[in-house]
Amino acid sequence: MASKSCHPASSAGADGAGILDGMLRNDGMLANVVAVVLEEIHPFELGVACEVFGLDRTADGLPGYDFAIAGARPGPHATHAGFAVDVPYGPERLAGADLAVVTAAAIRRDYPEPLLEALRGVVAAGGRVLSICSGAFVLGAAGLLDGRRAATHWRHTAELAARFPLTTVEQDVLYVDDDPVITSAGTAAGIDACLHLVRKVQGAEVAREIARRMVVAPHREGGQAQFVNRPLPEGDGDSLAPLLDWMRHHLDEEATVEQLAARALMSPRTFARRFQQETGTTPHRWLTGQRVLLAQRLLESTTESVDAIAARCGFGNAAALRHHFGRRLGTTPLAYRRCFADPGLS
What are the domain boundaries of the chain?
32-214, 241-279
Calculate Rg over the CA atoms of the chain: 20
Cα dihedral: 205, 209, 214, 219 (round 10): 20
Q: Quick: pLDDT tens for 161-203.
A: 999 999 999 987 889 999 999 999 988 899 999 999 999 899 8
pTM of the entire structure?
0.74
Contacting residues for 233 by C-beta, under 8 A, at least 6 apart: 239, 241, 244, 245
Model confidence band, residue 284 (pLDDT cutoffs 50, 70, 90): very high
Give the per-residue pLDDT at 238.
Answer: 64
Q: What size, in residues, is the chain?
A: 346
Q: Are 229 and 277 a contacting pair, CB within 8 Å? A: yes
Q: Does 338 score more than 90 pLDDT?
A: no
Give the per-residue pLDDT at 218.
Answer: 62
Model confidence band, residue 98 (pLDDT cutoffs 50, 70, 90): very high
**Regarding the domain with residue range 32-214, which homologous superfamily does it belong to in the CATH classification?**
Class I glutamine amidotransferase (GATase) domain (3.40.50.880)
Q: Does 235 score more than 50 pLDDT?
A: no
Residues of the chain above pLDDT 70, percent = 85
Contacting residues for 170 by C-beta, under 8 A, at least 6 apart: 149, 150, 151, 176
Model confidence band, residue 239 (pLDDT cutoffs 50, 70, 90): confident
